[in-house]
Structure 1
Amino acid sequence: MLKSIFSGVSGIRNLQTKIDVISNNIANVNTTGFKAARVNFQTQFSETLRGASAPGVSKGGTNPSQIGLGTTVGGVDTLMTQGTIQPTGKNTDMALSGEGFFVLSDGTERYYSRDGNFDFDRNGTLGNPSTGYNVLGWMAKPNGDGTTSISTMDQCDKIKIPAGQIMPPRKSSTITADGNFDALTPRMKVSLSGMVLESADSAAAVPTPAYMTFKDLYGNDRTIKVSFARDTATDLAAIPPHVYDKTILTYKAEAVVSATDDTPDPQVDVVNPSIATNPPRSNKIQFNSSGNVIAPGPDDFKITVRRAAIAGEAIAPFYDMDVPVDSWALNMSTIGTNSVQAAIKEGENGKPNYIIFGTKVVDGLGNSHMINLKATHATADTWRIGLSYTDNTIAGVDFKIGDEFFSDISSTTAGKENYTAEVRFDSATGKIMAGGSPTYKINFGNAGTSEISIDLQNLQAIAGENTATAGQNGYGSGILQGFNIDGNGIISGSFSNGQNQQLAQIAVASFNNPAGLTRKTDNVFASTNNTGEAMIGSAGAGGRGTIQAGALEMSNVDLASSFSEMIIAQRAFQSNSRIVTVSDEILQEMMNLKR
């Protein structure tokens, strides 16, 4: 029997396999994520007519003589090349750009696929609507502060995002101030006016005191009495100038108190720092012979408010608040009545000495409350920033000192201002040099209390527009309105409260030998002993490709190459058929030899 017949038959049989593979490739040219296959042929066992011999002394070596016995299919490989990515506009469609596979599950087994035709079912579970396989990944977990995080170190599971999912509220914990304070903003000053009655009797030369009210660092109203007494060290018979001492007393810190109420406030000391300087500065006011003020200068007299140490507390006095005297419009006369008046000047030429800006903070139930920050220009390079509110649902505000909160600044009256923090700027650059970050405990009534810190570090003070703004990190509850998927497979939800939050992340698997995967129905693959362990993690990491949402990966079948291969296979099939025909004719001739 001729060997050529069997060689031709093997070629026919194996070329039929190649045609089958090519046909399957062409049939799946529109299958999402399909990966083409190719056939590799190998030679069959060859008959050896003569073996090889080594060269001798007088003769050279000889090569082996062998006759092949046909061909066989060496293997059918899967071509894991990238397919064209086609946009679809559907945000649950996903395509992998690069290495890797989506991880799917039927509840029992895991499968791997490049087909990203996904959608959510009625329970909000992400899966392939054609097969029912669930897409695996990791759900986001709450951090306890209103944010979420995703750990890809956990076991991946199905992704479930119900429609109308609600984001719980996050109460505010930080107010961040930003922008510029106009360095040319006027400063808070005191204006004194009226007449001081002159008398030869020093005891009688005590004019009626003047009263003025301003808010201290705690936001409480302070009433200050300013009076004048004849300097006993000065010779009363001397020719003018006449010299008077300046005296300051403090009154109860409850709104504006009566002018006859001079009960000292045990919580607050009011002192004149000019006396305490070293060397001491003059604490006197001097009039000339015409009765006009000639000394001291406008900035010599200051009112300084300090918080006094409370019995049992290891807290030193602090919070100096200097208010310079801007105007000494006083006169002295030997007739008439004492009529000294004092007033707080909170601006000049219609321009206030403060800036107000604010934001809405959120309580534990998601309700919003307007909080204002009032920045008052205290000295040339110093501003004092406090909190105020007009919301009657706020029951009170406490201020944090050290590790404790003190309620002496709290008030149940809406509109209360709490001057608490001092910020100092570099007069040359306008950059912040020193300043605290005050912390408040705000009582929202039924919504509980919240500790809110104010971050002042982003402020500057240069000549120009007042651009100070405030923001905060709280928000109310929200309903899921939409979502987007980034290149790492993170699904972020957009909520009706304007917030975005991570909801889940899609898992991607890679293999050392992805061509070793075995095909299953439903356009999926399963791992084998030759793929290696599935390395499951985030897209865009560990050599895994990125995810493109709103698109699908097309089949990687090349029609031009497929038809070319089909033509070659057809011609090869015909050639092998001709081998069988020729061999048959030879056998026929051999049969005719006996005739």
Structure 2
Amino acid sequence: MKALYIAATGMKAQELNVEVISNNVANMRTTGYKRQRADFQDLLYENQRRMGTETSDTGTLVPNGIQIGSGVRTVATARIMTQGTASRTGKELDVAVRGEGFFQITTPDGTTAYTRDGSFARAQDGRLVTNDGYAVMPGITIPENSRDITINKLGVVQVVNAAGQVQNLGQLQLASFINKEGLEAIGDNLFLETAASGQPQVNTPGAEGYGTLLQGHLEASNVDAVTELSDLIAAQRAYEMNSKIVKAADEMYATSNNMR
């Protein structure tokens, strides 16, 4: 009897599904977080009677056949890269991306990472950095005693310097990917390039195919509480049904073992 093992694969799959949902819910307030979805595929089939085989000398064919499946497996936890809502913060170094593109970040080991989290800060040497102190690329340094920092929608960073003059400090750039869902999440709101994502294409905000920037705002998570709750209920019910099949299969085993 294979029902016991088939149902066990279903329970395992729904357990992982609940883990994905719980991670989405935990990150509902994470800046720039992109929700995930568990994707499943059926396992191999045992052909007890193959469709299309001949059943007589006259060429009569089996129309349907008999196939017994082996259960289910998780094949991906796809990341949904839809735009999150831009929430106003009023902080002059908070920047949200409206549209396509990722900020480029240099990690301490020199690796280039990518993020939608534009909650930037000013380091002790004036460099523009993330909340973890990682440098934002291209490097922009805000001079001491400067004020009125502005970042326009095209990423141009300007300040009023100590002499009261407007000073241009540079321009932020965005990176885009052919398959952004193929990026590898490494935590700290950062992604890494992979063979699946393709190489980054870097351009200025507002260029064709790239989003624009919005100063004083941050992109919220794209997690929807109602969607996650309904998915959780469906996963619980699927797990419950598979567990009942395990119980039923166990009772059938017991009946067979107790036959006199």
TM-score by length of 1: 0.42
For residues 91 and 147 of structure 2, the distance between their equivalents in structure 1, rounded to whole angstroms, comes to: 16
2:175 paired residue number: 509
Per-residue deviation, residues 347-400 of structure 1 (Å, max 9, x unmatched): xxxxxxxxxxxxxxxxxxxxxxxxxxxxxxxxxxxxxxxxxxxxxxxxxxxxxx
Per-residue deviation, residues 433-477 of structure 1 (Å, max 9, x unmatched): xxxxxxxxxxxxxxxxxxxxxxxxxxxxxxxxxxxxxxxxxxxxx
Is contact 2:51-2:61 (8 Å) kept?
A: no
2:26 paired residue number: 27
* SS class of match (2:256): helix
1:116 paired residue number: 118
For residues 122 and 482 of structure 1, the distance between their equivalents in structure 2, rounded to whole angstroms, comes to: 18
Alpha-carbon shift at residue 60 of structure 1 (Å): 5.0
Alpha-carbon shift at residue 121 of structure 1 (Å): 1.2
- Opposite residue 81 of structure 2, the aligned amino acid is M
Unmatched tracts of structure 2, length 5 or more: none
For residues 54 and 577 of structure 1, the distance between their equivalents in structure 2, rounded to whole angstroms, comes to: 36
For residues 73 and 7 of structure 2, the distance between their equivalents in structure 1, rounded to whole angstroms, comes to: 11
Is contact 2:178-2:197 (8 Å) kept?
A: yes
Per-residue deviation, residues 461-494 of structure 1 (Å, max 9, x unmatched): xxxxxxxxxxxxxxxxxxx432211111110223
Question: Is residue 558 of structure 1 aligned with residue 224 of structure 2?
Answer: yes
1:360 paired residue number: none
- Opposite residue 69 of structure 2, the aligned amino acid is G
| Percent of aligned pairs sharing the same letter | 37
For residues 521 and 101 of structure 1, the distance between their equivalents in structure 2, rounded to whole angstroms, comes to: 15
1:393 paired residue number: none
1:580 paired residue number: 246
* SS class of match (1:560): helix
For residues 259 and 149 of structure 2, the distance between their equivalents in structure 1, rounded to whole angstroms, comes to: 85
1:326 paired residue number: none
For residues 103 and 48 of structure 2, the distance between their equivalents in structure 1, rounded to whole angstroms, comes to: 54
Higher strand share: 1
- Opposite residue 11 of structure 1, the aligned amino acid is G
Aligned length: 257
Question: Is residue 159 of structure 1 aligned with residue 158 of structure 2?
Answer: no
- Opposite residue 68 of structure 1, the aligned amino acid is G
Alpha-carbon shift at residue 62 of structure 1 (Å): 2.1
Question: Is residue 544 of structure 1 aligned with residue 218 of structure 2?
Answer: no
Alpha-carbon shift at residue 63 of structure 1 (Å): 2.4
For residues 143 and 188 of structure 2, the distance between their equivalents in structure 1, rounded to whole angstroms, comes to: 26
Unmatched tracts of structure 1, length 5 or more: 138-157, 165-479
For residues 60 and 47 of structure 1, the distance between their equivalents in structure 2, rounded to whole angstroms, comes to: 19
* SS class of match (1:530): coil
For residues 522 and 53 of structure 1, the distance between their equivalents in structure 2, rounded to whole angstroms, comes to: 54
Is contact 2:7-2:71 (8 Å) kept?
A: yes
Per-residue deviation, residues 87-114 of structure 1 (Å, max 9, x unmatched): 0001100111111111001241110001
1:335 paired residue number: none
2:51 paired residue number: 52
For residues 161 and 246 of structure 2, the distance between their equivalents in structure 1, rounded to whole angstroms, comes to: 73
Question: Is residue 528 of structure 1 aligned with residue 161 of structure 2?
Answer: no
1:392 paired residue number: none
Is contact 2:123-2:133 (8 Å) kept?
A: no
1:434 paired residue number: none
Higher helix share: 2
For residues 71 and 577 of structure 1, the distance between their equivalents in structure 2, rounded to whole angstroms, comes to: 14
2:101 paired residue number: 100
* SS class of match (2:172): strand
- Structure 2 matches for 1:420-435, cutoff 5 A? none
- Opposite residue 127 of structure 2, the aligned amino acid is T
2:70 paired residue number: 69
Residues 1:58 and 1:533: Cα distance change in structure 2 (over 3 Å): closer
- Structure 2 matches for 1:160-559, cutoff 5 A? 160-164=141-145, 480-495=146-161, 499-559=165-225
Alpha-carbon shift at residue 124 of structure 1 (Å): 0.4
1:227 paired residue number: none
Per-residue deviation, residues 493-535 of structure 1 (Å, max 9, x unmatched): 2346664332111121100000000011211001111111111
For residues 188 and 162 of structure 2, the distance between their equivalents in structure 1, rounded to whole angstroms, comes to: 38
Pairwise CA RMSD: 1.6
2:84 paired residue number: 83
1:207 paired residue number: none
For residues 162 and 214 of structure 2, the distance between their equivalents in structure 1, rounded to whole angstroms, comes to: 25
The structure whose Rg is larger is 1
1:456 paired residue number: none
- Opposite residue 173 of structure 2, the aligned amino acid is A
Alpha-carbon shift at residue 17 of structure 1 (Å): 0.1
- Opposite residue 526 of structure 1, the aligned amino acid is L
- Opposite residue 38 of structure 1, the aligned amino acid is R
For residues 52 and 97 of structure 1, the distance between their equivalents in structure 2, rounded to whole angstroms, comes to: 53
Residues 1:534 and 1:41: Cα distance change in structure 2 (over 3 Å): same
Alpha-carbon shift at residue 21 of structure 1 (Å): 0.2
- Opposite residue 162 of structure 1, the aligned amino acid is P
For residues 43 and 49 of structure 1, the distance between their equivalents in structure 2, rounded to whole angstroms, comes to: 18
- Opposite residue 30 of structure 1, the aligned amino acid is R
- Opposite residue 29 of structure 2, the aligned amino acid is N
Residues 1:26 and 1:85: Cα distance change in structure 2 (over 3 Å): same
Residues 1:498 and 1:123: Cα distance change in structure 2 (over 3 Å): closer
1:4 paired residue number: 3
For residues 21 and 110 of structure 1, the distance between their equivalents in structure 2, rounded to whole angstroms, comes to: 27
